Amino acid sequence: MPELPEVESVRRTLENRVVGRSVVRVRVLTRPVVSLPGDPSSGFTRTRTQSEPVRLRSSLLLARDHITTVERFGKQIAIVGSRAPVVRIQLGMTGSVRVDDAQRPKHTHVEWELDDGACMRFVDPRRFGLVASHPSRELLQQHVWSLLGPDALTIRHAELKRACVGRKRSIKSVLLDQTLVAGVGNIYADEALFASRINPTREAGLLTDLEVRALAREIRSVMRTAIKSGGSTIRDYRNADGHAGFFQQKHKVYGRSGDLCTRCQTTLQSSQVAQRTTVWCPRCQMSR
């Protein structure tokens, strides 16, 4: 699943391609992946409900609007129009946003035709992603983004400390909880914990102040480095220009169980932590 660096890479390529463009037409090809005001907030694809979708109004999806900014918080993208509507995109497991003038690819669910002849498309083979409309940037912040934890790219020591205090859960579990820290997934939790020499099974509330400070610093550092590399392409991730990331070539622990630690040459171990396959170095990240 794309994490913060991948989503930020998509945001940056989108910003270069669509800011300043006008949306000529919006085509919704798969209504269940779209959430409009009055629909279930997670869309109909993942919501068990007998209710009917509200009437589709393409203006809520930026039709005949002018794109002013492309923002990101955690793993979510917001495309902001000049008339106030905001389109929020969650990539889910296999979702992508592409901008080109090529033929429509398979599994395209929403398509925005731009005034320069290009099309921005939301493509998602497994349909775990979401395209949601919000009447304004302020309401998006109030009803969605305010429910998430601090953004991992800028998280500070005090914010991470608040997320950890009193928690009996593992620190890996805390990092994966988007209501506590927004943007971290399995890849970058493992990488940041390795960089800060913290065992992923450690109880979050028992971390020392120095450990929390080091972890916050390494989360920011890992995120920045991964963004510079365009994110990690493990399977099919691509940015809006169709380019793969290459941070996977720099992974220290993720996906390297059984290999030697790059720091001490000890064999890396793996197990299930927070219901996710987790890799760490038993020497560099000793449990206490």
Q: Active-site positions?
A: 2-3, 75, 276
Residues whose CB falls within 8 Å of the CB of residue 37, separated by 6 or more in sequence, listed in order: 54, 60, 133, 134, 135
Burial state string for 179-210 with b = 16 or more CB within 10 A and e = fewer than 16: ebbbbbbbbbbbbbbbbbbbbbbbbbeebeee
Q: Is the dihedral of CA 32, 35, 39, 41 positive or negative?
A: positive
For 113-133, give one letter per residue: b (16+ CB within 10 A) or e. Answer: bbeeebbbbbbbeebbbbbbb
Angle at 243 between CA 238 and CA 248, to 5 degrees: 70
CB 215, CB 160: distance < 8 Å:
yes
How distant is the alpha carbon of residue 145 from its chain centre?
Answer: 13
